[in-house]
Amino acid sequence: MEALVAGFSYYGGYWNNPSGEVARRLDGVVVEGLRVRGLVLPVSFRAVKAVLREALYTTRPIVVIGLGLNPATHTVDVELVAVNRAFFTQPDIEGYVANYEAIDSEGPLVAYTTLPVQEILEECRVKRGLPVKPSLHTGLYLCNTAAYLIMRYGLESKALAGFIHLPPSTINYLRKETSHGIPLQELIESTECILEVSAKKAKNT
């Protein structure tokens, strides 16, 4: 049995994307009996859809967590919902811009997380004091694209699947890419806690 953690590579002025770094650090780790596969996605609308779909539907992980960077947040945000639309004027790495187009022409408008959010908050936020909270801010850029594909997979496959927005790391802050940052190790611990709670739930259902 396998878990998938997918983050993003660099984009814009963020040459050290903590979402990709966390995915790399967790690659090969075993959490509650599940071997974690870490995947780093390019910031490309076309590639995200192709690479993520292949990773999901060929390996069929029972827990999936997508990770993305939100430079504005100060917390680890567990997203509750994603929408089947892409709209962005900042080009991706291939120069592509999306004008309110469907991510999946055959998919529903909305997909919801299947992660055990209440249990995650109890364990990670309340018991361990990690900066984890629920959120409704996937946006319409590639984080939402990944979130929608992951959440839809969770609903279709009865897997525990969702998306987490990470704040900048202290590396971003020290590189003067952001005005704040959280230590990368704390981001790893928060993601690992969410994985742990989800893996326990998956094994008991």
186 in catalytic set:
no
Check if 54 is active-site.
Answer: no
Q: Which of 21, 123, 124, 143 is catalytic?
A: 143
The CB density around residue 168, as the number of other CB atoms within 10 Å, is 25
Name the amino acid, one letter, at 187.
L
Please confirm, yes or no, whether 79 is among the known catalytic residues.
yes
Backbone angles phi, psi at 80, to 5 degrees: -95, -25
Neighbouring CB atoms inside 10 A of 154's CB total 23
Set 21, 165, 177, 193: catalytic member:
165
Distances (CA, A) of 161 to 11, 20, 130, 184: 24, 18, 20, 23
Residue from 21, 79, 177, 192 carrying the catalytic annotation: 79
Question: Which positions are annotated as active-site residues?
Answer: 79, 143, 165
